[in-house]
Structure formats: C-alpha cells, structure tokens
Amino acid sequence: MAKLYFFYGAMNSGKTTRILQCEYNYNEQGMRAVIMKPMIDTKGNEKIVSRIGSSKKVDYLIKNDENIFDLIVSEYNHVDLILVDEAQFLTRKQVNQLMDIVIDLDIPVMCYGLRTDFKGNGFPGSTRLLEIAHELTEIKTICECGKKAMFNVRLIDGKVITEGESVAIDGVGKISYTVACSKCFRLKTRQKFDHEDKVTKKI
Ligand SMILES: [Zn+2]
C-alpha cells in the first residue's frame, strides 16, 4: 500500500536536494514522478532551488483553495510518485486530500517542509502532516554551536525579529533566515523580546 511521507526539518537542511534526487531516481527507473509546491512560495517562482545550486521547474503550482485530489484524478492519474516541496504552506484540508490520494488512488506522496515558523509555531500544513503521515523523517541540520538545529530565526538586516506574519519568503526584501538549536533559539529570540518596542519601531 502507498504511504504519505513527511520529511521535515529546519531551513537549509537539504530538503530540495532530496526531492531532485528522488525524482531523478524514479525517472531513471522509467517511472513518473511529479513535483508540486504551494503557490505561496515566491522563491525561484516556478522553480525549486536547492542550496547547493541545482534547480528544476516544478510540474505544478498548487493554489491555496485547490482540491489536490480532484487535480490528480483529472490531470495526473498515471503518476508513480507525488513530491511536494514547501509542504508547510498547504492547508490542513489539502493534506487530508493527499491522504485520500494515497488511500484511494494508491499513489505514494512524499511531502517536504518546515516543522515550525520563526516564532517556533507549527504551520498548518506541517502540523497536519505530523498528525497523519504514515512515515515521519526528520532531516537534520546543524546550529552554529554544533547541536541539531530545530528552529528558524528570522532576520531583517541581520537583526533577529520575533514579530510579524508567519509567511515571509526568504530572499524577498531584506528578510533572511538562519537556523538554531532550541537553546540558541531561546537565547536569540528572548534577547530581542527584551527590546521588543525598539525592534517594532525599526520595522
Ligand atoms: Zn545552538
């Protein structure tokens, strides 16, 4: 039976590189894999871009209100694997639709995404995936202190930010991100909580 997989991690953990490798392996075996991602991510537009330089145009951009089950039935019914990048941006309903694809169409679905936003809170898509995916795999990356990085820290002009919308895409404007272990995340963000008013004014 097909399964719903969720590969999760902090930013820069190599998720996109794994997607590209996985698609390559399927194609080499004569099977068809499709790569999708939610439209909300503007990084690279229709491309998925890995940190080590390789990139590829995605096969489909998922709209926010799109029924992915209906889409697969009508357009991609003969695929062997569905790969979803930036799966944290899916809605809970869309993750349920992915589960229906796995159960009713017997197509495996591999989702890749962030576990939490820059405040340490779960995204709707990743939270639902953590709840219902058959297989959960953490993709590990390293904090500057050497421990496992679990969190994403948002920076504006190099300064740590603890307020704002959960979705702000890396590389747009002056926003950037770094990763941190739990201890460094607390140290970095609490430091700024103490100066919250000043930081808010600067934005
Ligand atoms: Zn650390």
- Over residues 98-137, the pLDDT tens digits come to 999 999 999 999 999 999 999 999 999 999 999 999 999 9
Question: What's the mean pLDDT when you consider all of the chain?
Answer: 88
Tell me which of 23, 46, 75, 86 is the catalytic residue: 86
In angstroms, what is the span from residue 19 Cα to ligand 1's centroid? Answer: 27
Residue at token pair 């300064």: 159
Domains located in the chain, CATH noted: 4-140 (3.40.50.300), 148-202 (no CATH)
Rounded distance, CA 7 to CA 182, Å? 19
Closest Cα partner for 83 from 126, 39, 48? 48
Predicted local confidence at residue 158, as pLDDT: 84
Predicted local confidence at residue 201, as pLDDT: 47
Lowest mean pLDDT among 15-29, 31-45, 145-159: 31-45
Instruction: Give this prediction's pTM.
Output: 0.86
86 is catalytic: yes
In angstroms, what is the span from residue 37 Cα to ligand 1's centroid? Answer: 30
- Helix or strand holding residue 197 (H, E): helix 196-202
Decide if 81 contacts 108 (C-beta within 8 A): yes
In angstroms, what is the span from residue 34 Cα to ligand 1's centroid? Answer: 36
In angstroms, what is the span from residue 190 Cα to ligand 1's centroid? Answer: 14
Please, what sign has the CA dihedral across residues 171, 11, 41, 91?
A: negative
